[in-house]
Structure 1
Amino acid sequence: MHRRNRRRRTALLLSAAIAAAPLLTACGNDAHPGAAAVVGDQRITVSQLENRVNEVRAAQRAAVGDEAQYAQAVARTGSLTRDTLHGMVLDRVLHQAAEDAGVTVSRKEIQQMRTGLEQQAGGTEALETAWLQEYGVAPQRLEENLRLQLEAQKLAAALGTDTSRPEFWKALSEASEKLDVDLNPRYGTWDVQKSSRVDAKTPWVREVTAADSQQPA
C-alpha cells in the first residue's frame, strides 16, 4: 500500500500545480502568433498543443463503448488543453532543472519503471488505461511521462529532498526563470515562483458561459 501511494503521489506531479480554471477564449490579435508558449529558445506551437489534446481525445473515444461515455470523459477533462500545455511546459522546465543538477534518466530506467508499473496494474493495456483516465496521458506519451516522473524523483534525491518540499520547487522556479517561460495570453501566464500556469485577465480574453458558448468570438 505504501508503494502504491508513493507511486500515485509521483504520478500526480504534473497535476499538483494545476488549479481549476474557467474556460477561456481569445478574440482579436494574438501576441504570440502560432505559439502556445515559448520556453527558452524553443516554441510550443498551437498546432503541437492541439495534436497532444487530440491524442488524448482519440484515446478516450477508443476506450469507451458509446458517445454518452465519451461525453462523460470529455466533461471530466474539460480543462485538458490548459492542463496539457502546463504539462508540456513543466516537462521542459523540469528537464532544465535536472540538467542543471547533473541528473539524467536512461532508457533502461524508464523501461524498468514501466515494467514495474505494468505488473502492479495488471498488464500494458491496464497501465495505459489508468494513465489515460487518471492523468490525461495518451498511451503513446506514457514513456515520456514516466521519464518526467523519474527526472523528478532523481532531481529531488540529488537535492536531498522530495517532490513535495520547497527545495524541489525552488529548483523548478530557478529553471523557469532561466528559461524565461512565456505563454500566449489566451492560455494564461506562467508563475515562475510556483512553476505553474495561471489564468491571466486581459482585455481580449473573456470567460465563456453556457449561454454564450455558441457565439463567435
Structure 2
Amino acid sequence: MHRRRRTALLLTAAIAAAAPFLTACGNDAHPGAAAVVGGQRITVAQLENRVNEVRQAQRAAVANDAQYRQVLASTGSLTRDTLHNMVLDRVLHRAAQDAGVTVTRKEVQQMRAGLEQQVGGAKGLQTAWLQKYGIDPAHLDDNLRLQLEAQKLATELGTDTGQPAFWKALSKASGELHVALNPRYGAWDVQKSSRVDVKTPWVREVTTAGGQLLTT
C-alpha cells in the first residue's frame, strides 16, 4: 500500500538525504527508544502498544481467523508504518507551530461529522480508516487533526501538500527536531520527512495468532 494512503494524507515525497539515527537497538542515552523526536522518546513499548491496538481492532472487524490471517499477510509492515506515522505527527505539528497554524477540537469534530456522512456513519468511518490507513478507532481523531494541520499549513504557505514548499517546511521541522530512529525500524530521511529502511538482520518481528507483536 502506498505511503500516502497509509498516512491518510495527500503527501508526496521528494529529494533524498539520510538523517542521523541511533546505533544498535537503542543507545545509552535513549535505552528502549523506537525513536527520539525533539529529545522526547517514542518507546518500543509505546510503539508495540499502538500496533497491538490496531491488530485488536482488525481482528474485531473480521468474521473469522482465516480472514484475519489475510489481514496480517497484507499488513506485514504495520510496525514500521505505525512508527512513521507517530514520528510524522510530531514533525507536522512542529511545522504547523512554526507557521502559527492551530487546529481546534471543533474543527476536528466538524471534519469527522462530514466524513461520517460520506461513509454512512461513525462505524463506517472507523472501518474505512482501519482498513485503508491502519488507524485504530481510538486514534481516529488524532489522525483527523493531523490532516487538518497539513491542510492548514499548506494554505498558510500558499501551496498544497503535494508541492515542494510544503515538504520544505516539514524538512525544516525534521531538522529542528533531530529525529533519530532505532535502526531496527529504519532511519529518518530529513529531506523527505519519511522513514526509510536499513538492513537489520539481527531483528525479527513476529505477530502471534492473537495479533500481539513480538520482536526477537
2:186 counterpart of 1:188: yes
Aligned counterparts of 1:198 and 1:137: Cα–Cα separation in 2: 20
- Report if aligned partners of 2:187, 2:195 keep a CA contact under 8 Å in 1: yes
Aligned counterparts of 2:25 and 2:36: Cα–Cα separation in 1: 18
| 1:14 Cα deviation after fit | 7.7
- Report if aligned partners of 2:6, 2:132 keep a CA contact under 8 Å in 1: no
- Could you say which residue in structure 2 is the equivalent of 1:165? 163
Structure 2 vs 1, CA of residues 156 and 71 (structure 1 numbering), >3 Å: closer, same or farther? same
| 1:10 Cα deviation after fit | 11
Structure 1 unpaired stretches of 5+: 1-7, 18-27, 209-215
Structure 2 unpaired stretches of 5+: 14-23, 206-214
- Could you say which residue in structure 2 is the equivalent of 1:13? 9
1:98-127 Cα shifts (integer Å, max 9, x gaps) = 000000000000000000000001000000
How is 1:1-217 mapped onto 2 (pairs within 5 angstroms)? 12-13=8-9, 30-31=26-27, 32-201=30-199, 205=202
- Report if aligned partners of 1:14, 1:87 keep a CA contact under 8 Å in 2: no
Aligned counterparts of 2:193 and 2:94: Cα–Cα separation in 1: 12
Percent of aligned pairs sharing the same letter: 71
AA partner of residue 130 (structure 1) = A
Aligned residue for 1:38, secondary structure, equals strand
- Could you say which residue in structure 2 is the equivalent of 1:20? none
Aligned residue for 1:201, secondary structure, equals coil
Aligned counterparts of 1:198 and 1:160: Cα–Cα separation in 2: 28
Structure 2 vs 1, CA of residues 9 and 184 (structure 1 numbering), >3 Å: closer, same or farther? closer
TM-score by length of 2: 0.83
- Report if aligned partners of 2:6, 2:134 keep a CA contact under 8 Å in 1: no
| Aligned Cα root-mean-square deviation (Å) | 2.3
Structure 2 vs 1, CA of residues 182 and 137 (structure 1 numbering), >3 Å: closer, same or farther? same
- Report if aligned partners of 1:53, 1:80 keep a CA contact under 8 Å in 2: yes
| 1:76 Cα deviation after fit | 1.1
Aligned counterparts of 1:169 and 1:205: Cα–Cα separation in 2: 33
Structure 2 vs 1, CA of residues 139 and 206 (structure 1 numbering), >3 Å: closer, same or farther? closer
- Report if aligned partners of 2:58, 2:68 keep a CA contact under 8 Å in 1: yes
| 1:9 Cα deviation after fit | 7.5
- Report if aligned partners of 2:174, 2:193 keep a CA contact under 8 Å in 1: yes
- Report if aligned partners of 1:14, 1:90 keep a CA contact under 8 Å in 2: no
Aligned counterparts of 1:88 and 1:187: Cα–Cα separation in 2: 12
- Report if aligned partners of 2:96, 2:153 keep a CA contact under 8 Å in 1: yes
Aligned counterparts of 2:49 and 2:189: Cα–Cα separation in 1: 25
Aligned counterparts of 1:62 and 1:29: Cα–Cα separation in 2: 32
